[in-house]
Amino acid sequence: MSKGKWGESFLKSGLPLEHLTLMTLRSLGWSCYPHITYERKNREGQNSWFELDSLAIYDKENNNTQLSFLIECKYHDLSRFWFFLPYIKSALDSDKFSDDSILNIAPLQTLANPRNSTFLNLAPTSSWGIVVSEDGSKQDNAVNTAIQQLANGFVPHCMDMSFASYMVKYHVTPFVQALIPMIVTNAKIYILKQSVSDLDVIRNATSPEQIADETQWTWCYFQPSELQLRNNFDFIDEYKKDSSTKSICKVSPFKERMYTFALRPQWILIINIKSLENAINTITSIFMSLPTKKIHDILMPQKDKQKKTK
């Protein structure tokens, strides 16, 4: 095997990138769990097991709320990079830009100000990513593959990890979990400039920088398909029928929160591995400073209400 080829072969397996991601997170005080499995229906409608690369949970809590990341890693050789469209904000998007839409806290919403927009200001927003090659050849869209993997596993993971686990742990250490889906890559990340309005400008560009802005990380907006939405709602309906989850599904705050997750995730964090430490530190610092409610304070009014109706 020629010099250097074996190393690139090892890198293309994706294992070194996954390892470096977990090592970085662990050094920052995160507990990491590789190879997260979940069960859902496949394309044929049969229950099947699927896997996501890893889950990371911060070892400290903000009151009763823990920050976590659901992670996919994608490696590319240096001749390929990722291109995204800019996400154009509109006046109708206020809910999409809320901290609630980023943090996905479950099974209870503990943010004191869930409609505030703190996190999306940290990095450029984008949508619809693709893989581009320097030689002009068409590439498999690893960006879309990673996004779909996270989107397909997000609701099943949240139901099992956030809602079901809460029932088991509530009597010992009550907590809720904020979950941000994240894709880590070694590829350069570009967002098309909004000023580009001519296809010939793109065709004649000699470098990505002529038509796009490079960024170390971006919040990528995800719009689920009708099939994705239907699958999410169906999964939640089936989840509520399970005998082991009926008790939590009867409690109003949990039940109401549960169905909001059929529309999630709305935003996926996409980041170059070189900036992972800086981005994680920034997000963690802001999260830990957010005003949050304690679980006891949220549930007590509900318990008082139930007593009055008896």
Q: How far is CA 159 from the centre of its chain?
A: 15
What sections of the chain are H helices per DSSP? Answer: 5-12, 15-27, 99-103, 142-158, 165-169, 199-203, 226-241, 246-249, 252-260, 276-289, 295-309
Residue ranges, the chain, pLDDT below 70: 1-4, 91-92, 94, 164-174, 243-252, 300-310
Per-residue tokens: 275: 């900036």
What is the value of pTM for the model shown?
A: 0.91
Taking the C-alpha atoms of residue 61 and residue 290, their distance in angstroms, rounded to an integer, is 11
Check residue 125 and give its pLDDT: 96
The closest alpha carbon to 75, from 154, 184, 172, 165, belongs to 184
From the CA atom positions of the chain, what is the Rg in Å? 21
Taking the C-alpha atoms of residue 214 and residue 17, their distance in angstroms, rounded to an integer, is 21
Cα separations in angstroms, 157 against 39, 54, 94, 172: 9, 12, 27, 22
Per domain, the residue ranges of the chain are 5-300
Taking the C-alpha atoms of residue 131 and residue 139, their distance in angstroms, rounded to an integer, is 6
Check residue 167 and give its pLDDT: 53
Check residue 160 and give its pLDDT: 84
Taking 3-state DSSP, the helix, strand and coil percentages for the chain, each rounded to the nearest 5, stand at 45, 30, 30
Find out whether 49 and 157 touch, Cβ atoms under 8 Å: no
Check residue 258 and give its pLDDT: 87
Check residue 13 and give its pLDDT: 85
Find out whether 192 and 212 touch, Cβ atoms under 8 Å: yes
pLDDT of 120-171, one tens digit each?
A: 999 999 999 999 988 878 888 999 999 999 999 999 999 888 776 555 444 4
Check residue 115 and give its pLDDT: 93
Check residue 166 and give its pLDDT: 56
Check residue 306 and give its pLDDT: 47
Check residue 46 and give its pLDDT: 87
